[in-house]
Amino acid sequence: MTQRYAATTLVSFAIDLLVRAGLEKDKARATAAILVEGDLMGHSTHGLQLLGPYLGELEAGRMAKTGEPTVIAERPAVLTWDGHYLPGPWLVLKAIHAAIDRARTYGTGTVVINHAHHIACLAAYPMRAIEQGMALLIASSDPHSGSVAPFGAIAGRYTPNPIAGGWPTKTTPVIFDISASTTTNGMVARLNRTGGKLGGPWLVDNQGNATDDPASFLTDPPGAVLPLGGMELGHKGFALGLLVEMLTSGLAGSGRAVGSKQWGARVFLQVIDPAAFGGVDAFRKETEWLAQACRTAPVRPGNPPVRMPGERGLKLRAQQQADGVALHPEIMPGLQPWADKLGVTVPKAL
């Protein structure tokens, strides 16, 4: 039976663990909120699944517990930070606020973060801008690892490199969160632990064969994740992955060329204010028209209607806020040792 937990209870639990691990309260609140938001929207590998690893990073001193980002470069509509491996969710939320402030004046605000720690689920961020009537684009990469193979190769050279975004319409906003790869490192790791198979031939083994077996990641030499599009159309995902690398490590001025000694992120985010372009009303008229045109497009008899990006996640979010968050079965047992170690009571299921 699936166990459900009140979202507010999960946030409080995560805050308590993070604070007991030494993280400043404001940073703990931001991190906990974004992690639970990931689970609310159904991204179970990038929600509270990450809390244990984050606690381990705090314990090892690789995630900074205190401090502020410092400015590397700044122009009126552009800001670049060194994040000093402070918690990624806290840094990103702070950056979104800074970008919104710039967008109100200049029409757009762009923030790039060097040396952020991991930033969790990208789908958890767009609503922060949408609620202000603005659009958001966000992308991240991790120069510490290289698990995704360039198109035609059999060894990894870069990360899944997610890119996400969202914008308002007259009704339900559009939100997307995709990787430039066929799957994520988190999903491969989970299936390796649980003994499952991937949903398709999304990996390439060290002999060049497409496979759904996550164990191909554990061979010597290891296999790799295929770029989005797989063996046939992976040139598209490869190009998208390179774009994300340019926006993140390239603009941050630090990444794979200089090397990275720890898990973390380079982050690009941009907020756009439609009022500075064709106008808010015209923007929403266009975005709403296309959304409705897509929803009402004919489908094969018996198939459900077209669903817009983010529609399922927002609906699930509302349902789980009302009925409780259904956590993946391995998440709470995985946090029990941390709760025991840090003296925090594990919440009871609803």
Domains of the chain: 1-66+324-350 (1.10.1530.10), 68-182+233-295 (3.30.1370.60), 189-225 (no CATH)
Q: How confident is the model over 118-139, as pLDDT tens digits? A: 999 999 999 999 999 999 999 9
Give residue 94's Cα distance to chain centre: 16
pTM of the model: 0.96
DSSP 59-112: HHT-S-SS---EEEEEETTEEEEE-TT--HHHHHHHHHHHHHHHHHHHSEEEEE
Side chain identity, residue 303: N
Q: Among residues of the chain, what percentage have pLDDT more than 70?
A: 100
Split at pLDDT 50, 70, 90, the class of 342 is very high
CB 284 within 8 A of CB 169: yes
Which DSSP state fits 342? H
From 223, 116, 123, 231, select the one nearest 179 (Cα to Cα).
Answer: 123
Mean pLDDT of 172-198: 94
Mean pLDDT of 79-92: 98
Residue partners of 235: CB distance under 8 A and separation at least 6: 151, 227, 229
Query: Terminal CA-to-CA distance of the chain, rounded, Å?
Result: 12
Structure tokens at 115: 């040396």
